[in-house]
Amino acid sequence: MKNTPRFFTIGEAAKRCGVATSTLRFYESKGLIHSIRTHGNQRRFLAATLRTISVIRAAQKVGVSLEEIKLALKALPDGRQPTQKDWVKMSKKWADTLDQRILELQRLKGNLDSCIGCGCLSLKSCQLFNPNDEAALNGTGPRYLIDGAPKKQE
Ligand code: FES
């Protein structure tokens, strides 16, 4: 005998995942999760979707963007919901990304520390404007006057 899939209303799904119903509508509008509609046009979520919601919430808590999460979910074969094994893989990849961000933030914090109490905002010596004298790589002389202002970091 075949198992009948279990469905949840938006309220039930929200309660089980510890999120607001508006969050689920938002995730759905962004294509992160999907529901089916009843004849009365009410949403119903498959039980497996609750796992996807949990993955999204966990990833968001460590700063993974919705766009990155969407890409990871899209990469799953046949559009299936993430399994425990998938989550292990995703979390490993995101942990590596997080490590890189932490290193970058520590570097920026170090640069900012050298500015505290200074106030010079010098293109020549301020690490925020010219980290590690990168302007020197473009040649000698006033590189920002010759080449234009340095590109802002995103
Ligand atoms: S403001 Fe002087 S080093 Fe950055």
Structure token pair of residue 110: 């170090």
Q: Is the pLDDT of residue 37 over 60?
A: yes
Q: Is the pLDDT of residue 140 over 70?
A: no
Ranked by mean pLDDT, which of 18-22, 128-132, 142-146 comes out on top? 18-22
Per-residue pLDDT at 154: 47
Residue 100 Cα to ligand 1 midpoint, Å, equals 25
> H or E segment at 28?
helix 21-29
Atom of ligand 1 nearest to the CA of 122: 2
119 lines ligand 1 (CB under 6 A): yes
Alpha carbon distance, N-terminus to C-terminus of the chain: 56
**Substitution candidate for ligand 1 out of 113, 121, 124, 130 with most atoms within 8 A of CB:** 121
Average pLDDT, the chain: 86
Structure token pair of residue 153: 């970091």
Domains of the chain, by residue range, sit at 7-106, 117-154
10 lines ligand 1 (CB under 6 A): no
112 lines ligand 1 (CB under 6 A): no
Q: Is the pLDDT of residue 79 over 90?
A: no
pLDDT tens-place string over residues 1-25: 567 889 999 999 999 999 999 999 9
Q: How many CB atoms lie within 10 A of CB 34?
A: 14
Give me the CATH code for the 7-106 domain, please.
Answer: 1.10.1660.10
Rounded to whole angstroms, the Cα distance separating 28 from 7 reads 16
